[in-house]
Amino acid sequence: MYKNKIESWRPTGTLDALKKRAHIYSQIREFFAERGVLEVETPVMSYATVTDPHILSIPVYYKTLGSEKEQILYLQTSPEYAMKRLLAAGSGSIYQITKAFRQGEVGRWHNPEFTMLEWYRLDFDHHQLMDEMDALLQCILQTLAAERMSYKEAFEKYVNIDPHIATVGILQAAAEKFAISFEGTLEKNGWLDLLFKHCIEPRLGDERPCFIYDFPVSQAALAKIRSENPPVASRFEVYFKGVELANGFHELQDAVEQRRRFEANQLYRMEHHYPSIPLDENFLAALEYGLPHCAGVALGVDRLILLAHQAEKMADVLSFAFPNI
């Protein structure tokens, strides 16, 4: 027992991994400097946070000296809202390497405190941003040019169904066919996520990175929706070696629609007994003022380093992983 306490001070990551991290940071900064993208820094605390019921924030409690009043703040799950306020204020294309925090995310690929690279490119759509993401991965990981599949193509290839028109019954039957069991009830998005996680995600990016794009409108989050048949969300994710690395959007500029999505999330939270949180009115005001046409993406830096270092788990590339903090 005493020996374990003595040894607990040691870093979880190796010195080689920390050197690899420093080198990758320098590569990222050089990559964006060559493209004229400005590095910025925004606060990691805010009075509001994401409404997405599947992303749980970590609250912090602030009290001014001499005051009895305690204020609830939130550690950022990503710098997205603050960076979009900078975009609306005229910053131009920007990027940031920052800490982000999410409740309950611990495991091989997760740590409650992690490093995120987020960037926004003016006058890009999500396909142009995929091009730039592909270039970054080739720079950092020396990958081959990425493969691309629409969300629909991926489901048709690996599950043999059209995810946009499939009913809950069809999705549930597909899960049973693949011996995927779930106790309880799920809505359509839940079944789509379950099938994607078990039947598609592990098979993506074996030889080269794979972009999945044009998600169902029910999974749009902060992405534009295109009026096609059926409509799709201009969103992408990128996978390599079965690991999800990034999530990007052709960014929604409509403040009224964004508020509607936030309020729908709040209703879902209430119906499923999740805590209610304040909407980020500063972000919504920035959208009302005018977000320029842009695309943005968030990349998990620790996972990127894990792949570059050929490590087994995220703790191997962090100086001190949870709970050894």
DSSP string over 220-251: -TTB-EE--SS-EEEEEEEEETTEEEEEEEEB
Average pLDDT for residues 162-170, to the nearest whole number?
95
Residue 80 has a pLDDT of: 97
Instruction: Express each pLDDT in 255-266 by its tens digit.
Output: 999 999 999 999
Query: Rounded mean pLDDT of the chain?
Result: 94
Got the DSSP string for 79-103? SHHHHHHHHHTT--SEEEEEEEE-T
Output the six-digit token pair for 164. 């946009």
Domain ranges of the chain: 2-146+208-317
Which residues are within 8 A (CB) of 300 and not within 5 positions of it... i.e. 6 or more apart?
114, 115, 116, 244, 245, 246
Say which amino acid occupies 253.
Q
Residue 72 has a pLDDT of: 93
Residue 310 pLDDT > 80: yes
Residue 6 pLDDT > 70: no
Residue 5 has a pLDDT of: 60
Residue 4 pLDDT > 50: yes
The pair phi, psi for residue 227, each rounded to 5°, is: -85, 75
Got the DSSP string for 248-275? EEEB---HHHHHHHHHHHHHHHHHTTPP
Q: Out of 23-37, 85-99, 131-145, 172-186, which region has the weakest mean confidence (pLDDT)?
A: 172-186
pTM for the structure as a whole: 0.93
Confidence tier at 203 by pLDDT (50, 70, 90): very high
Average pLDDT for residues 112-128, to the nearest whole number?
98
How far apart CA 270 and CA 265 sit, in angstroms, is 9
Residue 8 pLDDT > 90: no
For domain 2-146+208-317, the question of CATH label 2.60.40.10 is answered with no
Torsion angle (degrees, nearest 10) of CA 130, 134, 139, 142: 160
Our CA angle for 191, 133, 313, nearest 5°, is: 65
Which residues are within 8 A (CB) of 209 and not within 5 positions of it... i.e. 6 or more apart?
134, 137, 143, 146, 147, 238, 239, 240, 245
Task: Label the pairing between strands 58-62 and 94-101.
Answer: unpaired
Average pLDDT for residues 47-66, to the nearest whole number?
91
Share of the chain above pLDDT 70, in %: 98
Residue 184 pLDDT > 80: no
Residue 279 has a pLDDT of: 94
Residue 95 pLDDT > 80: yes
Residue 2 has a pLDDT of: 45
Instruction: Express each pLDDT in 35-47 by its tens digit.
Output: 999 999 999 999 9
In DSSP terms, 122 is beta-bridged to 294
The larger pLDDT score, comparing residue 242 to residue 48, is at 48
Residue 12 has a pLDDT of: 94
Longest dimension (CA), the chain: 65
Phi/psi zone of residue 109: left (φ > 0), alpha (ψ -120 to 50 degrees), beta? alpha
How far apart CA 273 and CA 143 sit, in angstroms, is 44
Residue 1 has a pLDDT of: 44
Helix (H) or strand (E) segment spanning residue 210: strand 210-216
The pair phi, psi for residue 82, each rounded to 5°, is: -65, -40
Place of tokens 């592990």: 202
